[in-house]
A and B are shown apart, each in its own frame.
Chain A
Amino acid sequence: MVAVVEVSELTCQRDGRELFGALGFELNAGECLEVRGANGSGKSTLLRCVAGLFTDYAGTIETASSLYLGHRLGLNLLLTAEQNLMWYRGLRGSADSISEVLSRVGMGGYARVSCQNMSAGQQRRIGLARVLIGQCPLWLLDEPLTALDATGQELVASLIQEHLQGSGAVLCATHQDLQVPGARTLQLGV
């Protein structure tokens, strides 16, 4: 089993409160780990620590390179879906076809549509399309089911399952059940 993420003795302080006292866990290739906890228990902070965005912590985090989907959209609303995804493609240096990626998330005809003219759910799907641009071993998803209807949530589940089958790993903060078979749960906070 290849460990994709290894966390040990993780402690951190945010806004004067202590989050995760000496937290430790392992995530292996092909596994999905759901991080649960009440609001403010540090789910987002944990993901940001693993992503490398938050560095004020004690303990060790060893991780493979990751793709981080935060709870902000990550889309410039002034631009079209295509323009947004082309920017990601440029940053990642991949050669995937934008139209195929859009079809995969069910937004096939929306390439030239400005993101501000889409509904919240549609915007989320475009944001989700980012995981299909290039390949990355670890996905860090922060509340991926937000604003998605039932079809959208099934889409997330199927994307995750495909990724796991390809020996990827997923670390996901969520309130709701992902509907991914075999997913473990990590409970934060008391």
Chain B
Amino acid sequence: MADSAQPRSVVGLFGTQLRREIQTTARSMEEAVNPLIFLFLAITLFALSVGGGVEDLRARASGIIWVLVLLANMLSLESLFRRDYDDGTLEQMLLLAQPVFVPILAKIVAQWCLSGLAMTLLAPLAALILYLPTNELPVLLLSLLLGTPALSLFGAVGAALTVGLRRGGVLLGLLILPLYVPVLIFGVGAVSEHMAGVSINAQIYWLLAITMLALTVAPFAVQAALRISVEQ
């Protein structure tokens, strides 16, 4: 008897996994929304801590938003592979999908839509309540749009390494936050340079470059890490 598995087209495989992610998210919306709620809760705490002063917040707005985007992203990464690991579908994906990095990429894209992309769409609201000047908003949005994919990609590596561990949540943060430092710096740097009237081409190119690097490296690192996690 021969194995009847056809080499599946990459697009088809991507679509299959993406459809599954959409179906799952549709039935667990509350989970998907939590990190976004956290983002605004934390912004509130920040605003409270400086007494809500306009000048204080305006000066720190882009930094606060970016840091909280990093943390909220981290929270949403915890569940990237957890459900599939627990119910046994993760190992099936590793065994059956060829090439494996395609469904992995689909999962990361889905996670990015719910975290990075969603936060970019909510950023105008955050900018409003932190008194960010409106002509800085496009730069903030661009930096978030270009930088958050790298967060999801590198974050997925951390998620894959810690999915099999019981208290993996805090460890996940420890592993990926150092990797987030350049994205944070260039993201905030873009807004602050723009406010100073300086060209931000360099920061934009760096954000793009980091995301490209992540796109090249992360799927394979995630694959290796998932295989290791599944062995336990």
Contacts and interface: CB of A to CB of B under 8 A. Distances in A.
Interface residues of A, number: 36
Contact of A65 (B5, B7, B231): B5
A11 interface: no
Contacts of A94: 4-6
A168 B1 contact: yes
Contact of B1 (A75, A83, A91, A137): A137
Interface in A49-85: 51-56, 64-65, 68, 70, 72-79, 83
B7 A93 contact: yes
Contact of A135 (B2, B20, B83): B2
Given A55-B231, A90-B16, A76 B5 contact: no
Q: Is the interface of A mostly helix, strand, loop or mixed?
A: loop
Interface string B76-91: 0000000110111101
A114 B84 CA distance: 16
A90 B23 CA distance: 15
Contacts of B94: 53
B49 interface: no
Given A74-B92, A90-B12, A137 B2 contact: yes
Nearest to B16: A90
A110 interface: no
A184 interface: no
A111 to B, nearest CB: 14
Contact of A73 (B17, B20, B87): B87
Nearest to A94: B4
Contacts of B225: none
Contact of A93 (B5, B92, B231): B5
A79 B96 contact: no
B198 interface: no
A137 B5 CA distance: 11
B89 A135 contact: no
Contacts of A55: 227, 231
Interface of A: 29, 51-56, 64-65, 68, 70, 72-79, 83, 86-88, 90-94, 114, 134-137, 166-168
Interface of B: 1-8, 12-13, 15-17, 19-20, 23-24, 27-28, 83-84, 86-89, 91-97, 103, 227, 230-231
